[in-house]
Amino acid sequence: MTGRQTRTQLFASLTQARRKTFVAGLDQREKNEWQFDFKNSVHLGQSEPEGDWRVWLVMGGRGFGKTRAGAEWVRSIAEGDGFARIALVGASLGEARSVMVEGESGLIACSPPDRVPHFEPSLHRLRWPNGAQAYLYSAAEPESLRGPQHSHAWCDEIGKWPAAHQRATRCWDNLTLGLRLGKDQRIVATTTPRSTALVRRLVESDGTVVTGGPSRDNAANLPPSFLVAMEREYGQSLLGRQELGGELLDEVEGALWSRALLERCRERGNDSEHSRVVIGVDPPASSDGDACGIVVAALGKDGIGRVLADASIEKPTPERWARAVAETAAVWQADRVVAEANQGGAMVASVLRAADISLPLKLVHASRGKVARAEPVAALYEAGRVRHCGMFAQLEDQLCGLMAGGGYEGPGRSPDQADALVWALTELMLGRQIRPRISAL
């Protein structure tokens, strides 16, 4: 792709006079088509690769323009070949319709008025005026692709296709086995980078061409406030590098948590009633040392533990972190604060009491290392008993750096936020364990 220049870049290099001359030379038909010609606004990562390829994987950050790239490629195929039979595969039928077909960057929105495909929701089908057709499929139903034949396919957000029972790979296999119409069968796959089995398989395949990049590559079509806010929130965290930078991150082999596990535990719009709210605190050893980990977790009446907030602060004074704990406890109406006291139990207690914390304070002493304490909590995640109510970038980066058997390979010197989470969930879900006894019958 190096050395290629898009039409957008070419126009940007022209003088104002040359641009006016060019526009003056357009006839009315060309002016009418101008806003619907994707080549006038495309950036390099959205440009169809040259050469003989079978799979084009567009892997970029949020807002990179992946959906638009996929929709424009399908439109070019359909408008150029009336015999095209195209598969549109989303994570679900609902997403295929709402994003790929009817979305702001979907097929209907990017088509000129005289060539808008007719959508038949009951048949999951689009029909173009020239006879080309596209059919919607759900990656959650891989057997629906066993039998139908296609000439082309667009697969959206393959990184979030359901992995249970190998649905994602089965769906891909059924799709490719049915890709036998026409003379030049090709697939475009668009996704935010996620280290799933299917994404890795495609990246490592000789028949795949990969383009992509960070969200800022599409800055011309994104609100500046979005890019500023996302950079401030996620910065160079691993989550930010993946979701905004468009990087495919390797999972740390042997880590207690994986990104795929955390994604499965993500929960939005939870309205479950809490039976207990606890704040876990991992105080810094000194004011110029590490962060103070402050994590809010709750136990729902449904028996599920939920991580509600990460209120951790960097390099605070004792007064500042104690005040942050007090404010967090008031906001979340916490029932208890659980604080590690290995760095001076009396000091931790007095600092917190000075911040006017009136709720019960429990000081805990670490008799085992951070990783050993984290292992039973990680098992709760594996069992589906913990949910994250939102995204917690730095906290999740630290969790993914805790290694089974000991050691830490995450960001920073110490996993303070992860340790605070472990204390909170241990108090909520592992604090009262019944030990088995042998009794006489």
The DSSP 8-state label assigned to residue 286 in this structure reads: S
Q: Show the tokens assigned to 43.
A: 């950036």
Confidence of residue 117 (pLDDT cuts 50, 70, 90): very high
Q: Is 249 exposed, middle or buried (0-12, 13-18, 19+ CB in 10 A)?
A: middle
CB contact burial 282-310 (16+ within 10 A = b; e otherwise): bbbeeeeebbbbbbbbbbbeeebbbbbbb
What pLDDT, on the 0 to 100 scale, is given for residue 441?
Answer: 41
Q: Of the ranges 253-267, 272-286, 335-349, which one carries the lowest mean pLDDT score?
A: 335-349
Distance CA 407, CA 380 (A): 20
Domains of the chain with CATH codes? 7-226 (3.40.50.300), 259-430 (3.30.420.240)
Distance CA 323, CA 48 (A): 54
User: In this predicted model, what pLDDT tens digit does every residue of 163-182 receive, in sequence order?
Assistant: 777 899 999 999 999 999 99
**Those residues with Cβ within 8 angstroms of residue 29's Cβ, 6 or more apart along the chain or in another chain:** none
**3-state DSSP call for residue 430?**
helix
Confidence of residue 436 (pLDDT cuts 50, 70, 90): very low
Q: Show the tokens assigned to 157.
A: 């957000």
Q: Where are the alpha helices (DSSP H) in 184-285?
A: 197-203, 224-234, 238-243, 259-264
Range picked from 45-49, 157-161, 257-261, 421-425 for highest mean pLDDT: 421-425
Other Cβ atoms within 10 Å of 390 Cβ, number: 14
In this prediction, residues 205-213 reach a mean pLDDT of 93
**pLDDT at 32 exceeding the cut of 70:** no
**pLDDT at 2 exceeding the cut of 50:** no
In this prediction, residues 133-139 reach a mean pLDDT of 98
Q: Where are the alpha helices (DSSP H) in 333-363?
A: 345-354
Helix (H) or strand (E) segment spanning residue 76: helix 66-80
Q: Is 334 exposed, middle or buried (0-12, 13-18, 19+ CB in 10 A)?
A: buried
Q: For the whole model, what pTM was predicted?
A: 0.62
Q: Is 16 exposed, middle or buried (0-12, 13-18, 19+ CB in 10 A)?
A: exposed
> How many angstroms separate the first and last alpha carbons of the chain?
77
Distance CA 350, CA 84 (A): 73
The DSSP 8-state label assigned to residue 251 in this structure reads: P
> What letter represents residue 20's amino acid?
K
Cβ atoms of 182 and 190 within 8 Å: the answer is no
- Cα→Cα distances 33→24, 40, 56, Å: 15, 11, 26
Q: Which of 130, 187, 182 is closest to 151 using CA atoms? A: 182
Q: CA angle 297-299-304, nearest 5°?
A: 110
Distance of CA 82 to the CA centre of its chain: 36
In this prediction, residues 46-54 reach a mean pLDDT of 90
Q: At what angle do helices 345-354 and 318-332 cross, to 10 degrees?
A: 60
Q: Of the ranges 20-29, 126-135, 186-195, 416-425, which one carries the lowest mean pLDDT score?
A: 20-29
The residues pairing with 300 across neighbouring beta strands, listed in sequence order, are: 274
User: In this predicted model, what pLDDT tens digit does every residue of 398-407 receive, in sequence order?
Assistant: 999 898 877 8
Confidence of residue 435 (pLDDT cuts 50, 70, 90): very low
